[in-house]
Amino acid sequence: MTRAVPLLALAAALAFPAAFTLPFPRHVMIMIFLYGALAVAWNILAGYCGQISLGHAVFFGIGAYTSTLLVARAELSPWLGMAAGAALAVLVSQLVGYPVFRLRGHYFAIATIAVGEIVQTLAINWDWAGGARGVFVPIKRPDSFANFQFHQSKAVYYYIALGLLLLALAVTRWLERSRHGYYFRAIREDQDAAASLGVHVAREKHRAIAVSAALTALGGTFYAQYVLFIDPESVLPLSLSILICLVAVLGGVGTLWGPVLGAAVLVPLSEGTRVWLGGTGKALDLVIYGGLIMVIATLQPAGLMGLARRFRRAP
């Protein structure tokens, strides 16, 4: 992507809340940033390192639950909870990594689904953490940055979500340009060949999932502070793991901007159908997602980024 496009996009994103003062357009943008950040984080492990995880809701849920429980049960700042959630997600990712990284390809993906289901079942049956009923984030007044709650306007949430996305992009960019980014891609292409050249495959995979899990957990804490209620069905479902994957795949895996592009297309679609059709949108958004994914997979397997690249090459 040429340098001007991201800079213009950033300027537009910064100015957006000034131009759109109603809650709904701001909400849609916040969701684009959040899902964009989640997809960018997922992309580090799956797109660059080639380890297709369908269990990333686990890290999202850890972020959401850690901060929420620390606020609700121990009166700790959500910002501390955010850091604790990211740290816990890293720890869990490292422990889970030992067994699941022994598997390759589809077997790895299936194992991550199993991990996700296990964690969701544990959360449902853990009464202290709210069980299936979930947990409310205690309402704090007045609005303040320290409380991480803003009831008057969505503008602050907007900029925090944008910050999250920019952080995920910056980390990805930094990894892309470091030795580890090259290692990740080599592992994706052929892990045995990478090992024969001295790449410690297991260590690099653990590195990739650690970064990916931490960023995903930050998103989980943000979600909890934004919605102020979490339960296993909203922050730990398999459908969330799959959605994160879809956003990245639609946009283009293994590219910096692909996941952001995917979120920019899919989130308005899902929010739009929800508004037009009421309730959860009668799951029409998922039907459209499915159709889109099929079209993309058939015509342009590199995702929207592949499409963009094709346009740029054309005279």
State the residues that interact with another protein by CB under 8 A. Answer: 177-179, 182-183, 185-186, 188-190, 192-201, 254
Tokens of 112: 């991550």
d(CA 311, CA 307): 6
Comparison of 27 and 185: residue with beta carbon closer to another protein: 185
Q: Among residues 50, 79, 88, which one has the least CA distance to residue 216?
A: 88
Would you say 183 or 257 has its CB closer to another protein?
A: 183
Least distance CB 175 / another protein (angstroms): 12
Nearer to another protein, 150 or 184 (CB): 184
Helix (H, G, I), strand (E, B) or coil at 1: coil
Nearest-approach distance from CB 198 to another protein, in angstroms = 4
Q: Tell the smallest beta-carbon distance from residue 95 to another protein (Å).
A: 21
CA quadruple 287, 48, 224, 11: dihedral, nearest 10: -90
Q: What are phi and psi of 54, to 5 degrees?
A: -115, 35
- Report the C-alpha gap between 161 and 279 in whole angstroms: 25
Q: Which is nearer to another protein, 224 or 256 (CB)?
A: 256
Is the CB of 95 or the CB of 197 nearer to another protein? 197
Least separation in angstroms between CB 6 and another protein? 22
Report the C-alpha gap between 16 and 32 in whole angstroms: 13
Query: Least distance from C-beta 254 to another protein, angstroms?
Result: 8
Which helix (H) or strand (E) segment holds residue 301: the answer is none
